[in-house]
Amino acid sequence: MEFFSLNGTKVSRIGLGTWAIGGGEWGAVSEADAVATCLSIFDHGMNLIDTAPIYGHGRSEEIIGRAMREHGRREDFYIATKAGLEWNARGVFANSDPARLRQEFEDSLRRLGTEYVDLYQIHWPDTTLPMERAAEVMRELLDAGRIRAVGVSNFSVKQMEAFAQITPIDANQPPYNIFEREIDAEILPYCRRKGIAVLTYSSMCRSLLAGRLKADTAIPEGDIRRVDPKFQQPRFGQYLRAVAELDAFAQKEYGKRVLHLAVRWVLDRPGISAALWGAKRPAQLDAVEEILGWQLDADAMEEIDGIVAACVRDPIGPEYLTPGVRSS
Ligand SMILES: NC(=O)c1ccc[n+]([C@@H]2O[C@H](COP(=O)([O-])OP(=O)(O)OC[C@H]3O[C@@H](n4cnc5c(N)ncnc54)[C@H](OP(=O)(O)O)[C@@H]3O)[C@@H](O)[C@H]2O)c1
């Protein structure tokens, strides 16, 4: 495994993402598979697990709590969880009301069965409040030793600047993959300048870059990919053509597959600390070893850019994931 350092702790550069494990938006996952997936990180030298209260409305954190109890040594895990998303009958909304954030923290500790969080992240910026309000709560938790590092997710540079007036940002979690590179313009350069660790989500573009999907693969009702504009024709066909060409490139040049290329691509981009890998069962992490021990050079990066530009005529980003703005 490759590692990076976050506030003095050694953290794996590949982390398990547990949105799907929460169940609901990515199809059903049994509790046994979910717990086993969390425990299987140690088979691959990983320690980073990313979660959030919204994933399965608490279930993902509870699953990780159960895995930590079964494993027995809390300190072997590097747990990144989040706060600042509210869900109700009307939908999902960013909400960083300070009292709510404090309550969310206590709820997360209870579900995880732990006394501290390694990395605590504001999930989405609440644009109805100054960013400083959320930062003040994070500062309190940090000063009290209840969290070990402060993170943000889906923040713009301006929002990070305001937040950092109150407490330094240790880590940022944006979307990033071969098809979604919006952070290259401002966010990644800012994080590099400020020494902020970057943990990327959707490293496989929500499975598109894993290579399993075909034009006629049925995506079940209720699966989030049903509403992902990348998965709708005719755009889906463009992305699938790119995936096929990237797969051929990975096989010819490295004896690898597109999934390996996709994660390696993230890890080899300057300024990236870790790539999150969404998995539902232990076998999905078996490919982790295929990511290690090789690298993409500048020529390969250029070749990949050429494939994407030639195939994807009508690109679209991950904006559909943006939560609503609350009304009060
Ligand atoms: N901060 C945020 O706002 C935010 C937003 C999104 C995600 N995240 C975090 O990032 C994590 C990962 O991102 P993501 O959930 O968007 O998805 P992702 O990692 O890009 O893709 C995950 C999907 O890839 C497929 N996959 C994984 N391993 C595979 C393998 N070995 N072979 C074939 N397919 C494989 C699975 O698809 P199938 O379901 O088809 O098996 C899996 O559900 C999340 O779990 C969450 O922790 C954070």
- The best mutation among 18, 19, 209 to test binding of ligand 1, ranked by most ligand atoms within 8 Å of the C-beta, falls on 19
Q: Ligand 1 mean position to 166 CA, how many Å?
A: 32
pLDDT attached to residue 328: 63
Report the alpha-carbon distance of residue 262 to residue 278 in Å, rounded.
13
241: tokens are 């053509």
Q: Ligand 1 mean position to 163 CA, how many Å?
A: 28
pLDDT attached to residue 55: 96
Q: Whose CA is nearest to atom 24 of ligand 1?
A: 207
pLDDT attached to residue 320: 87
What does the angle CA 77 – CA 13 – CA 316 come to, to the nearest 5 degrees? 115
Q: For residue 162, give the amino acid letter.
A: A
Pairing of the two strands 85-88 and 91-94: antiparallel
pLDDT attached to residue 253: 98
Half-sphere exposure of 14 (CA within 13 A, CB side): 28
DSSP category for residue 110? H
- CATH code at position 27: 3.20.20.100
Q: Whose CA is nearest to atom 11 of ligand 1?
A: 17
Report the alpha-carbon distance of residue 235 to residue 55 in Å, rounded.
28
Structural contact between residues 166 and 98, judged by C-beta atoms closer than 8 angstroms: no
In this structure, the residues whose C-beta lies within 6 A of any atom of ligand 1 are: 17-20, 26, 50, 123, 153-154, 173, 201-207, 210, 212, 259, 276-280, 284, 287, 321
Report the alpha-carbon distance of residue 237 to residue 202 in Å, rounded.
19
Q: Ligand 1 mean position to 49 CA, how many Å?
A: 12
Report the alpha-carbon distance of residue 228 to residue 25 in Å, rounded.
12
Q: Which of 56, 160, 155, 97 is nearest to 327 (CA)?
A: 97
Structural contact between residues 13 and 267, judged by C-beta atoms closer than 8 angstroms: yes
pLDDT attached to residue 11: 98
Q: Whose CA is nearest to atom 16 of ligand 1?
A: 202
Report the alpha-carbon distance of residue 154 to residue 200 in Å, rounded.
10
189: tokens are 């350069």
Q: Which residues contact 210 (CB under 8 A, 6 or more apart)?
A: 204, 258, 259, 262
Report the alpha-carbon distance of residue 123 to residue 52 in Å, rounded.
8
pLDDT attached to residue 227: 87
| Coil, helix or strand at residue 254 | helix
Q: Tell me how far CA of residue 271 lies from CA of 151, 193, 195, 246, in angstroms.
A: 16, 9, 9, 23
Structural contact between residues 15 and 277, judged by C-beta atoms closer than 8 angstroms: yes
Q: What is the pLDDT of residues 56-111, one digit of tens each?
A: 999 999 999 999 999 999 999 999 999 999 999 999 999 999 999 999 999 999 99
Q: What is the pLDDT of residues 150-172, one digit of tens each?
A: 999 999 999 999 999 999 999 99
- Domain span at residue 218? 3-325
Report the alpha-carbon distance of residue 17 to residue 11 in Å, rounded.
14
Residues in the chain with pLDDT values less than 70: 328
Q: Which of 55, 176, 201, 239 is catalytic?
A: 55
- The best mutation among 204, 267, 320 to test binding of ligand 1, ranked by most ligand atoms within 8 Å of the C-beta, falls on 204
Q: Ligand 1 mean position to 46 CA, how many Å?
A: 16
H/E stretch holding 17 reads strand 14-17
Residue 132 class from Cβ within 10 Å (0-12 exposed, 13-18 middle, 19+ buried)? Answer: middle
Report the alpha-carbon distance of residue 52 to residue 276 in Å, rounded.
13
Judge whether 116 counts as a catalytic residue: no
In total, how many domains does the chain have? 1
Q: Ligand 1 mean position to 210 CA, how many Å?
A: 9
Sheet with 91-94, strands from edge to edge, namely 85-88, 91-94, 324-325
- The best mutation among 44, 79, 201 to test binding of ligand 1, ranked by most ligand atoms within 8 Å of the C-beta, falls on 201
22: tokens are 């929460």
